[in-house]
Amino acid sequence: GFVGNAIVRPEFSVMTSPQPSCTISATDLDFGAKGVLSTAITGQSSLGVTCTQGASWSVVLDGGATGNSAARKMASAAGDTVTYNLYRDAARTSVWGSSTAQQATGTGTGASQNLPVYGSVPVQTTPRPGVYSDRVVATIRY
């Protein structure tokens, strides 16, 4: 039979092993409705990067439909184009592209980090009216 008031208190371990990991999100960049492209147009968007603490990361942007980050173009349904580019700096001097020299880098904090994306449409011959767009893919490496 049962004898005494024995209490057994087993111990067990609780573990997790966080691995380096990152996520990225993006917001659209809309230059808005414009008339004649006789002056440069600027705009801004952002990427959100969330990486585990201490994880080194880099973000590259592809060249969009042209495949060339030095010659990005938005296109209309009629096939007309508007030249534009994306930059890592507010002065719009550092093109954000897909090469090592054109990437943004950082170290994860465990919280979301905001990366501004600066856009510019240079002075150019104004195409036919319409909606012009391009799709750029942001890739994070860690």
Average pLDDT over every residue of 59-63: 98
Give the pair of three-digit tokens for residue 3: 């004898």
Give the pair of three-digit tokens for residue 29: 């960049």
Average pLDDT over every residue of 106-110: 97
Q: Where are the chain's structural domains?
A: 22-29+36-141
Per-residue pLDDT band at 3 (split at 50, 70, 90): low
42 in Cβ contact with 118 (< 8 Å): yes
Q: With 0.85 as the threshold, say if the pTM is over it.
A: yes
Q: How far is residue 13's CA from residue 23's CA, in Å, rounded to a whole number?
A: 29
Q: Which residues pair with 43 in a beta bridge?
A: 119
Q: Which residue, chain included where needed, has tokens 């659209």?
A: 28
Assign a CATH topology to domain 22-29+36-141: Immunoglobulin-like (2.60.40)
Residue 6 pLDDT: 81
- Helical (H) or strand (E) element with 21: none
